[in-house]
Amino acid sequence: MKALAVIAALALALPAPAAADANSEIDALTLRVEKLEGVRAVKKLQRAFGYYVDRGLWQEAADLFAADGTIEIGLDGVYVGPQRIGDYLQKLGGGQPGLVYGQLNEFVTLQPVIDISADGRSARARWRDLGMLGQYKKHAEWRDGIYENTYEKGTDGVWRIKALHLYVNFVAPYEKGWARLKPGEGLVRSAASLAMPPDRPPTVTYKPFPDTFVPPFHAPNPVTGEHVETAK
């Protein structure tokens, strides 16, 4: 930002037409910096969410959301607002703050594709979710899915999660893996959502692996600029 301040000072010393051009360039550079900072902020948000959920820090994870932010995981429906999101995450994680002895709750978030809006105030991102779940000497599962999320920059200049949507592809026992799944077996509504009904119904109904549902892409093909058709 110091470089932009120097450019601005030089623009003031230029003749009016040249100064106007310089100011336009400053505005363009400022927006570009804001967009780059937005990408960094979105990555930090999503990674923080993963680390907090990994260790059962449910409310810390929920505090990353906007006041009207939402979360939707698999077929569980939509939960609105940090308090409801925190309660839902805790219910999913076993009903207690933190993890219990021997509980594995690892979520690896990979392959970010982040697009910042033209005004630099919001963003959309696609990620891959790989989960390793289980309880010591009792059970172990894999989880696979795709995030399609939105984020926003508040009036206070802080980025927050606006909507987190995880399209779960399957949850499969570690033993024998996903190859043994029967149609529809790899994704069911969680016991947490049955005990704590969502604020809104699911926005999408789909069939998980071994079906080949593709979560809609928020962005066009980066080379052709064309919409990516996912319907089969």
| Percentage of the chain exceeding pLDDT 70 | 90
Nearest to 133 by CA among 123, 125, 124, 143: 143
Confidence check: pLDDT of 203 > 90? yes
Q: Report the C-alpha dihedral over residues 19, 24, 30, 34, rounded to 10 degrees.
A: 170
Q: Is 182 exposed, middle or buried (0-12, 13-18, 19+ CB in 10 A)?
A: exposed
Question: Distance (Å, rounded) from C-alpha 219 to C-alpha 231?
Answer: 15
* Structure confidence by residue, pLDDT tens digits, 82-135: 999 999 999 999 999 999 999 999 999 999 999 999 999 999 999 999 999 999
Residues in CB range of 8: below 8 A, 6 or more apart = 22, 23, 26
For strands 139-153 and 103-116, give the pairing.
unpaired
